[in-house]
Amino acid sequence: MPSGTKPSVLVIGGGPGGVSVARQLFNVADVTVVDPSPYFEVHWGCLRAVVEPALADRMLVPYESIPRLGTFVNGKVAELGEKSAKLSDGTVLDFDYAVVCTGSGYGDAVVKARQASLAERKATIQDAYARIVAAKSVLIVGGGPVGVELAAEILTDFPGQKTVTLVTSQDTLLAGNAPRLGTKAKQWLESRGCKLILGERVSKGPPFTLENSGETLAADVVFWCTGTKKTTEYMVANFQNMLDDSGLVKVDEFLRVEGKEHIFAVGDCNNVKETKLGYLAMAQGAAVAKSIQAIIKKGSGQPKLQKWVPGKGIDLMVVTFGRKMAYMQVKGIVFGGFLPTKLKCKDVFVGKTRKDIGMQA
């Protein structure tokens, strides 16, 4: 528990957003990061790691090795109060400022799972790899970036060896983005033999049956790359009004929790209208760190708070199609080729993210 003369900042959740805030406040505040997992995960490495499990060694980073993070507490916040947070084991952490960064949960036990130990997480990834290797048929449910990238990784590393089927309830792939991005994904996947089923839902199986046509799909391995789950139950007791209908934290233009001057919310868990992405969570974290720094240093004047522009005003996204092709969307313009491929294909930003959190690539 922070007890120094500096103000204390409690960072709830050590994802990309939380680690970014914490590291940037290290010099000016007594920072505590609390997370139920003892390691940081580069979530976007997982889709490559299930075909190349050695990558897990770099995409999983114990919090204790991250420089300038502050104090790490391995625990889960069960109830947030005005000036303290109670963990599920009863521990109470006091704070002057808090930053809520609990992100989003995911339906699939492999794709975005937080586990109690690093060894368990590595074993889950190794097991997914072994199941893919042994499978004749792979079913991927969801046609967003996660489903598309995962299908492409498997088709790239096991060419012609698996029946890969991707089902989405949407009429296009990568819906919600520029239509050309979805068209490129469709062309790429179909040219590698992926069976695409659009506008359909799959029953939770086995057997895995399409709701409209009644067709049953072959599936030795299934990945559910659909929807996200809310993570903000710990706010219900005292801050119910600050949650929207989806359980996202309502924030103002400075990412302050609505009506609060000392509590901020960053990343997937807030209600900023933008595509929820890790690099944006990190950028939001940096913005909030600057605002808290300004408040701490303000003296008698008005602190200069950082205004957040959704999507940083550019709405950048890079989608990989395996190891040798990527497409990029910037302000609605879509292009493939050298730049996006060079940026992301080699290690799907694992090295870059490690550097961003102060580690060697």
Ligand X SMILES: Cc1cc2nc3c(=O)[nH]c(=O)nc-3n(C[C@H](O)[C@H](O)[C@H](O)COP(=O)(O)OP(=O)(O)OC[C@H]3O[C@@H](n4cnc5c(N)ncnc54)[C@H](O)[C@@H]3O)c2cc1C
2 vs 18, beta carbon nearer ligand X: 18
Q: Which stretch binds ligand X (CB under 6 A): 31-39, 57-65, 160-168, 247-255?
A: 31-39
Closest CA to 99 of 331, 295, 237: 295
Segment interacting with ligand X, rule: CB under 6 A, options 22-30, 96-104, 213-221, 255-263: 96-104
Q: Which region, judged by CB under 6 A, interacts with ligand X, from 160-168, 174-182, 276-284, 300-308?
A: 276-284
220 and 140 Cβ atoms separated by less than 8 Å: no
Q: Choose between 88 and 187: whose C-beta lies nearer to ligand X.
A: 88
Among 2, 7, 17, 70, binds ligand X (CB under 6 A): 17
**C-beta separation of 278 from 26 below 8 A:** no
Asked if 197 is part of the footprint of ligand X (rule: CB under 6 A), the reply reads no
The residue among 42 and 305 lying less far from ligand X, judged by its C-beta, is: 42
Site residues for ligand X, window 217-256 (CB under 6 A)?
Answer: 231, 234
Is 315 a binding residue for ligand X by CB under 6 A? The answer is: no
CB of 234 to ligand X, least distance (A): 5
- Classify strands 8-12 and 97-100 as parallel, antiparallel or unpaired: parallel
Q: Is 356 helix (H, G, I), strand (E, B) or coil?
A: helix
Instruction: Report the C-alpha gap between 340 and 327 in whole angstroms.
Output: 6
Per-position b or e across 232-245, b if 16+ CB within 10 A of its CB: bebbeeebeebbee
Which of the residues 127 through 166 are near ligand X (CB under 6 A)?
A: 146
Cβ(185)–Cβ(202) below 8 Å: no
Angstrom distance (rounded) from CA 110 to CA 102: 19
Binding site for ligand X (CB under 6 A): 12-18, 34-37, 43-44, 46-47, 76-77, 101-104, 106, 111-112, 114, 146, 231, 234, 267-269, 276-279, 281
